[in-house]
Amino acid sequence: MNPVTFLNLIKFEHTIFALPFAYLGMLLGARGWPPAAGGWPSWLQVFWVTVAMAAARSAAMAFNRYIDRHIDALNPRTANRELPTGRVRAGTVLTFSIVSLGVLMLAAWMLNPLAFRLALPAMVFLVGYSYTKRFTWFCHWILGATDGLAAAGGWIAVTGSIDPPAWVLWFAVTVWIAGFDLIYACQDVDFDRTHGVHSVPARFGIAAGLRVAQAMHVLTVLALAAAGLMMGLGWPYWAGVVTAAGLLVYEHSLVSPTDLSKLDIAFFNVNGYIAVIVFAATLAALWR
C-alpha cells in the first residue's frame, strides 16, 4: 500500500485544525490559573502533546472512514475514496485506528494522571461521533466537542487540572468546528435526505444551516475574546482574534444557499489559517 494513499485517507494534514488549539491550551495552561507571568511548557510536554494530538486525530479520522465506508460508497462525492474503491483494505484501517488509540493512551500516561484518566472518555467521543449522524442532526456539535477536547487537553497536559479557561477554550473550538461542519454538510443535503443521514441542512434546509453556522462563528469570536480577558492577554492576541473574525466573515461570504462552488476554499483553506493565526497571536502575546 502506498503510504501517501493512506495519509490521504486519514487526511493527516487536517491535524492543523486542532493541533494549534492544543498548543494554545498548553501555552495558556503553563501560565497558570489565575494567570501568572513566565510559565512555559517543557519540551517534553510539547512532544507528548504533539504525539497525543496526532494519534487522536489519526484514530478519529481512520475510524470515521472505516465506519462510513458503506455510506461513502453510495455517495457520488465520496465514492472514489480509498476504502470504497479498495485501494486500502478495511482491516488495515481498523488496525491502524486501534494502534493510534494505544499511542494516545501512552502519551496521556506520560503527561499526568488526569490526562490518562480522561483519555478513555475522550476515546468514546473519537470513535462514537461518527455514528451520531445516523440518528441526530446534533452531530455537528458532537464533532465540535470532540475536536474541542484538543484545546482542553492541552491545558490539562501541563496543569493536571481542569480550570475555567480550559472550558472556555473547549467551547470556542466546539462552536468553531460545528460552524464549519454545518457549512460542509450543505453539499450533501440531497444524498443525506435520501439515505437517512442526519444534519441541520438536511433537516432544515441549506439556508438555515448557513445561518446557524454564522451564529456558531459569532460565538467562536466571543469565546476567544472571553479567553483573552480571563488570561489577561495583550494586543497581539486581540489582533489575532480580529483577524480570525475577519476570516470567518470572508468564509461565509464564499458560500450561499444558491452557490456552494467555493465550499472547499471556505472549509479547508480559511479554517486552517484561523487555527494557525490564533495560536501565533497567543504565542506573541505571551512572549511580550
Domain boundaries, the chain: 3-287
Give 15: exposed, middle or buried? Use CB within 10 Å, 0-12, 13-18, 19+.
buried
Contact at 8 Å (CB) between 57 and 97? no
Domain 3-287 coded CATH 3.40.50.620: no
Q: Which helix (H) or strand (E) holds 276?
A: helix 271-287
Q: Three-state DSSP class for 243?
A: helix
Binned at pLDDT 50, 70 and 90, residue 64 comes out as very high
pLDDT surpassing 80 at residue 11:
no
Nine-digit cell string for 200: 441541520
Q: Three-state DSSP class for 124?
A: helix
The reported pLDDT for the residue numbered 7 is 72
The reported pLDDT for the residue numbered 60 is 92
DSSP secondary structure code for residue 187 in this structure: G
The reported pLDDT for the residue numbered 10 is 73
The reported pLDDT for the residue numbered 14 is 66
- Report, in angstroms and rounded to the nearest whole number, the Rg of the chain calculated over CA atoms: 19
Binned at pLDDT 50, 70 and 90, residue 268 comes out as confident
In the block, cell 491550551 appears at 25
Mean pLDDT, rounded, for 141-159 = 96
| Torsion of the alpha carbons at 110, 113, 117 and 119, rounded to the nearest 10 | -30
DSSP secondary structure code for residue 270 in this structure: I
Mean pLDDT, rounded, for 107-131 = 95
Give just the sign of the alpha carbon dihedral 51, 54, 60, 62: negative
Contact at 8 Å (CB) between 209 and 185? yes
Q: What angle do CA 24, 26, 31 make, to 5 degrees?
A: 100
Phi-psi category of 81—alpha, beta or left, where left has phi over 0 and alpha has psi -120 to 50?
beta
